[in-house]
Amino acid sequence: MDFRIEARSWLESHLAQTPAPAPRTWERDLGRAGWIGIGWPGADGESYGNRRATLTQQVVWAEEYARSGAPARMGHIGENLLAPTLITYGTEEQKQHHLPPVARGETLWCQGYSEPGAGSDLAGVRTAAVPDGAGGYAVTGQKIWTSLALDADWCFVLARTDPGSTRHHGLSFLLVEMDQPGRIEVRPIRQLTGTSEFNEVFLDGARAAEVVGGEGNGWQVAMGLLALERGVSTLAQQIGFARELDQVVAAAVASGAAGDPVIRARLVRQWAELDTMRRHALRTLGSTGDPGAPSVAKLLWGGWHQRLGELAVQVAGEAGAVGPEPWSERRPYELDDAQHLFLFSRADTIYGGSDEIQRNIIAERVLGLPREPR
């Protein structure tokens, strides 16, 4: 069967289920069908529980998933960030231990990078890890803006294992199990949207049994992982963006706002910029050795999505300031799609590396400009 037809057929049949499966059940459904971790390289192609797939087939699956309107993935951090990092830097024992549960949709991961006072500046990490006398580390510190931490089973944590080190020296990439009562506390962060996708994570002597890439090599591993955030998933993300743009265009036509030449020009520009981003993503897909490509991609889509949110509420006009349902004690915070897009996209130029950080990377690593004074 043609790969695209197979992917589309599976998604259509499973999305037609009533009621819709719970998020963790959906992850396990994907895993049982072999749709998690497709294309992961391995010694025999099947060693980590995934199916073989070319880069083109990976793109096809990501596009079909986004186009189908399937639910947001809870396992994407483990699949798209942790797994490729282990494949590149991990030991065979670590791969065999952690990758099959991710491929089966059984284990969820979160990313312990950002910290209060450091934010996107990963070299400013202060979370400390010291040997615990049992072959692992005791980790103490605080992480912030940690997506899905409330549901995660494991967290990969960037911590300072050399107490006398500064900046990017002396960091290690540690694997920490989240179920450690009294040692790990997760506090949801209520956002502008009223939801809490981001969290604070407090570590108080939390045990980390494993280090990836060797002690003190965390900066290299972390930088390799950040480059992975701008891969195949970028194309799927852009299909989601296209669906949101279609909704804004339809709203503009329905309300008559499309008759305003200023709004019409903005709609056309959003379309043209999205097409440019797609072409850029296709051009750089699978390429290596370009230190500026991930930062350019992040700058492009972060600003684009934020401008789309602004346009969505402009198209809505006065209705953009009114909630879709009357507020009550039971339903105190209702937003329509345009309002949610506007408010959530305010974070797009901050999370995943702020625009300022991305511009510094381009300036220093691509243009060869002097480093920013610190």
Strand pairing report for 137-143 and 154-160: unpaired
Q: How confident is the model at residue 298 (pLDDT cuts 50, 70, 90)?
A: confident
- Give me the DSSP letters along 109-151: EEEE---TTTTT-GGG---EEEE-SSSSEEEEEEE-S-TTTTT
Is pLDDT of 277 > 60?
Answer: yes
Contact 132, 183 (CB under 8 A): no
68: helix, strand or coil? helix
Is pLDDT of 106 > 90?
Answer: yes
Query: Which of 235-244, 270-279, 283-292 comes out lowest in average pLDDT?
Result: 283-292
Q: Which residues contact 281 (CB under 8 A, 6 or more apart)?
A: 234, 235, 238, 297
* Span 181-225, pLDDT tens digits: 999 999 998 888 888 888 999 999 999 989 999 888 888 888 777
Is pLDDT of 166 > 90?
Answer: no
What is the identity of the amino acid at 354?
S
CA of 133: how far to CAs of 80, 212, 213, 292, in Å? 33, 18, 20, 41
Is pLDDT of 303 > 70?
Answer: yes
Mean pLDDT confidence for 299-314: 94
Pick from 138, 48, 133: nearest CA to 95: 48
CA atoms within 13 A on the CB side of 184: 22
Q: How confident is the model at residue 174 (pLDDT cuts 50, 70, 90)?
A: very high
Mean pLDDT confidence for 155-169: 85
* Span 10-67, pLDDT tens digits: 999 998 887 888 989 999 999 999 999 888 876 554 567 778 888 888 888 888 888 8
Q: Which residues are catalytic?
A: 229
CA of 293: how far to CAs of 99, 163, 229, in Å? 27, 33, 11
Q: How confident is the model at residue 271 (pLDDT cuts 50, 70, 90)?
A: very high
Is pLDDT of 272 > 80?
Answer: yes
pLDDT of residue 184: 96
Is pLDDT of 141 > 60?
Answer: yes
What is the identity of the amino acid at 291?
P
Mean pLDDT, the chain, as a whole number? Answer: 86
Q: How confident is the model at residue 287 (pLDDT cuts 50, 70, 90)?
A: low
Is pLDDT of 321 > 90?
Answer: no
Burial 263-291 (b: 16+ CB within 10 A, else e): beebbeebeebbeebbebbeebbeeeeee
Percent of the chain predicted with pLDDT > 70: 91
Contact 23, 95 (CB under 8 A): no
Omega of the bond leading into 84 within 30 degrees of 0 (cis) = no
Pick from 217, 148, 132: nearest CA to 183: 132
How far from the centroid of its chain's Cα atoms is residue 173's Cα? Answer: 18
pLDDT of residue 353: 77
Handedness of CA 92, 94, 96, 99 (dihedral sign): negative
With 0-12 CB in 10 A as exposed, 13-18 as middle and 19+ as buried, what is 211? buried
Rounded CA-CA distance 192/345 in Å is 10
Q: What are the structure tokens assigned to 159, written together?
A: 């911590």
pLDDT of residue 43: 54
Rounded CA-CA distance 332/349 in Å is 28
Handedness of CA 299, 302, 308, 314 (dihedral sign): negative
What is the identity of the amino acid at 69?
G
| Helices 232-255 and 261-284, axial angle in degrees (round to 10) | 170
| Helices 3-15 and 55-68, axial angle in degrees (round to 10) | 30
